[in-house]
Structure 1
């Protein structure tokens, strides 16, 4: 039996979109991801790793729903150590999604919430977007000598700060905490318009992820696993 492609996500909705034949999905938050990813590799092996899901925009003007295929991952917790993704894999993904931006992605340990913090991270890293899983994927891939690629969709633009209710709505495992959202809104109802914008942006990102996943399947015939296994 052939080894699977391991697709890494941080949020349950990302994992639901990523699942498919020939793919093993590891969905975990930043602090538990390394252990879960190592366990998956030890149990089944892996042909390669894919960091798949959403990311916060850092370049002004990037819209929610924009695909980014990483050239390099900048490990910000490790003083911006650079990991170059598989060129062949990244180019195959970019050809399958012609509108995708080929750029660097910054790996961070916590959400980049405010517009000021996003601007500061952009000045420091030059990355187009940031997420909380790609640097861990890069570390593990290098440790095991595995190819890896990063395919992420912008979910919140660089110019916009996330309202407190959006963060209150995130459980430690990435699931939605509706009571947290309602509690935050009760304390500050004026953030409702900003929260509705976040929901609209998230909808665009999810649509882009589903569409991108479908395009990859149609182009290569066997789904996401075929992108990285069939080159």
Structure 2
């Protein structure tokens, strides 16, 4: 990547996700991802902060959308509900028109496994959803005066337990140890029902999030970037 942008290398809109799997789910469903660079931050606030700050040393986007899944805290939001939070009027208009609902996010350093944990965090914060990266990404973008919006779909609603503690399968670099996860699930057959339910919820959330992004990104001005790149993590 070049360190600065010029007419031959215009700035792009960044869509930042924690995991490559989230990027693939979105990228494969966008009909015309014009002017978008998909980027993978890794999981967790520290990893997201370091990765985004590193990128910004070499390239400046016109805006950053932090996208992916979130755990539901507010019981009114079912699986697939797409929530957003931004203080940028341009992206607020676009996301509202695209069908996303305004919401409040809180960030956790680990994946919340139980409905009881999610209920306690909702009472403590009043937030609608929880994730592991958005607060760090918003802080870095605000410090750099870059427009930023959090756009996430609920994958596990407030009243549902996860099949196991997913935090145990996050590597130190923020990547996902999928092999160890599936082995752990395979050793606990009684948890397959919850795992399959989570998979159905995640696919629904991905469809809804992609539909919202498709509408929100439609007709972006040319100065908001040209072309589309493969997911980047460097």
Fold shared, TM-score > 0.5 on shorter chain: yes
- Tell me the TM-score range normalised by the shorter chain: 0.7 to 0.9
Aligned partners of 1:156 and 1:201 also within 8 Å? yes
Aligned length: 207
TM-score, normalised relative to structure 2: 0.78
Which position in structure 1 is the counterpart of 2:95?
A: 93
Q: Secondary structure at 1:61's aligned position in 2? A: coil
TM-score, normalised relative to structure 1: 0.79
Worse-matched range after superposition: 110-119 or 6-15: 6-15
Alignment match of 1:38 (pick from 50, 53, 67): 53
**Residue 3 (structure 1) aligned with residue 11 (structure 2):** yes
1:58-77 matches, within 5 Å, as 58-70=73-85
Q: Secondary structure at 1:44's aligned position in 2? A: coil
Distance in 1 separating the partners of 2:184 and 2:104: 37
Aligned partners of 1:64 and 1:156 also within 8 Å? yes
Which position in structure 1 is the counterpart of 2:229?
A: none
Aligned partners of 2:110 and 2:167 also within 8 Å? no
Q: Secondary structure at 2:139's aligned position in 1? A: helix
Aligned partners of 1:54 and 1:131 also within 8 Å? yes
**Residue 14 (structure 1) aligned with residue 28 (structure 2):** no
Q: CA RMSD in A?
A: 2.5
Aligned partners of 1:67 and 1:101 also within 8 Å? yes
Which position in structure 1 is the counterpart of 2:191?
A: 191
Worse-matched range after superposition: 153-162 or 38-47: 38-47
Worse-matched range after superposition: 175-184 or 29-38: 175-184
Which position in structure 2 is the counterpart of 1:220?
A: 219
Deviation at 1:169, TM superposition (A): 8.8
Aligned partners of 1:60 and 1:157 also within 8 Å? yes
Higher relative contact order (CA 8 A, sep 6+): 2
Higher helix share: 1
Please list every run of 5 or more consecutive structure 1 residues that lacks an aligned counterpart in the other structure.
Answer: 72-84, 227-231
Aligned partners of 2:95 and 2:212 also within 8 Å? no
Please list every run of 5 or more consecutive structure 2 residues that lacks an aligned counterpart in the other structure.
Answer: 1-6, 226-234
Distance in 2 separating the partners of 1:146 and 1:206: 26
